[in-house]
Amino acid sequence: MHELSIAKSLVEIAIAEANKVEHQVEAVHIKVGALSGVVPDALMAAYEFVTEATCLEGSRLVIENCPVQIFCPDCNKLTTLPDTQNFDCSQCGKTSGDLRGGRELELTALEIRS
Ligand SMILES: [Zn+2]
């Protein structure tokens, strides 16, 4: 279950940031791409486990799911894909391997309790 190690490293970064601002963290926002290989539900569960007895205990993990985006050089067009099955340009239908989104796995923001 690699969500556990991912949650661990995300939480480490978040704790380091929280220590900098010296405030209680309300929520941790992350971006998870459709191709990142992370199962959001599993990450959610792992987060709860990993934050136990840390300064992030009780905080929420807010996951923003990022769809796959491909760029078609022929149409000069970015297509947002509805799933990860087909990588076809929505305009010409040609398959493109030029990925512009979907692999995200990053911490985007911390919500601080005021
Ligand atoms: Zn195209």
We report the CATH number of the domain holding residue 99 as 3.30.2320.80
Write down the pLDDT at residue 99.
96
Give the distance (Å) from ligand 1 centre to CA of residue 20: 46
Q: Residue 29 Cα, ligand 1 centroid: separation in angstroms?
A: 33
**Residue pLDDT, tens place only, 41-84:** 999 999 999 999 999 999 999 999 999 999 999 999 999 999 89
Q: What is the number of structural domains in the chain?
A: 1
Contact 33, 105 (CB under 8 A): yes
pLDDT in tens, 4-15: 999 999 999 999
Residue 109 Cα to ligand 1 middle (Å): 34
What is the span of the domain harbouring residue 49? Answer: 3-112
Separation CA 44–CA 59 (nearest Å): 11
Q: Give, in order, the Cα–Cα distances in Å from 15 to each of 53, 58, 75, 86.
A: 12, 13, 44, 38
> What pLDDT, on the 0 to 100 scale, is given for residue 1?
57
Other beta carbons less than 10 A from residue 96's beta carbon: 19
Question: 100 CA to middle of ligand 1, Å?
Answer: 14
Nearest in space to 10 (alpha carbons), one of 58, 43, 33, 42:
43
